[in-house]
Amino acid sequence: MHTVRTYKYMVVEDEYLIRENIIKKINSLNLPLELVGEASNGKDGLALVEALQPHLLITDIKMPQMDGLEFTKQLHTTYPYIKAVILSGYNDFTFAQQALRFGVKDFLLKPISVENLNTCLQKLVIMLDSEYSHTAALSVDVHTLSKEEISNLIEVYLHENFKKEISLSELAHKLGFTSDYLSRVFKKYKQESPIKYITKLRINEAKQLLINYPDLDIKKVGELVGYNDAFYFSRVFKTNTNLYPSEYRIKNHKL
């Protein structure tokens, strides 16, 4: 039985009532999150980040002294490992999207529903779990989720870990399910098996490495996308593209 990790979070929002409402909603969720600080602007938020080192941060887009866009920009430059979520109204939704350039993981429209907040934070918890453990045990209690929510969380897990050796049976064991059950649930909502999904992610990553890094050894490309056996990597790549990695690189080489 693993020990559930607790992740620290901060809320940066200039309107006190909205800030407290967000905290109240987060506290109502069954998530391993601990509030460590709150601020009313980006300038104060940065000072708190330095002192408290949170794992996750929720910030409004429009604030005095330093707005959310500049805040997330500085956050990304100095603390790229912190997961940031932007809050915005419909009028500044396009403005909020610009923050994606600064590594923002998600943005939520006001007024924030508990459901959307829960879905967003579940995904971020999985990302954090994945970063803190090679075979991450999810801290989210999946037994309280619907089948569709389980499939979404598995998708996030696979997306965060496809470059590593992934064992669906090991993941299933950690979650308290069978691998067959997880495969059926995933395929029902994603229209493909977990194995096919992982393979698609790996092949797409390999394609960009082959094209953008022409001097990178084929064996190394395979290792970087989760295939330690170079021959197996070449075989899987050809099965999915009708070309061996070397052939794909030559065909798509840009002069």
Q: pLDDT, tens digit, for every residue of 189-229?
A: 999 999 899 999 999 999 989 988 888 999 999 999 999 99
What tokens were used for 254? 């840009």
- Residue 56 is encoded by which pair of tokens? 């996750």
Same domain, 96 and 38: yes
Mean pLDDT of the residues in the chain: 85
Structure tokens at 164: 């590593």
CB 140 within 8 A of CB 176: no
Check: CB of residue 102 under 8 Å from CB of residue 75.
yes
Q: Final residue of a domain: which of 72, 107, 131?
A: 131
Q: Average pLDDT in the 32-44 region?
A: 93
Residue 63 belongs to domain spanning: 7-131
Question: For residue range 129-175, what is the model confidence (pLDDT) as tens digits?
Answer: 877 764 455 666 666 778 888 888 888 888 878 888 777 777 777 77
- Give the pair of three-digit tokens for residue 86: 């932007």
Residues 53 and 169 in one domain: no
Residues 102-124 have pLDDT tens digits of 788 888 888 899 999 998 999 89
91 inside domain? yes
Two tokens, residue 85: 């979520």
Residue-level pLDDT at 1? 42
The CATH number given to whatever domain includes residue 219 is 1.10.10.60
pTM comes to: 0.63
Q: Which two tokens stand for residue 233?
A: 């990597």
250: pLDDT strictly greater than 80:
yes
Q: Is residue 251 within 8 Å of 240, Cβ to Cβ?
A: no
Cα–Cα distances (Å) from 31 to 25, 118, 123, 126, 178, in that order, read: 11, 9, 11, 11, 23
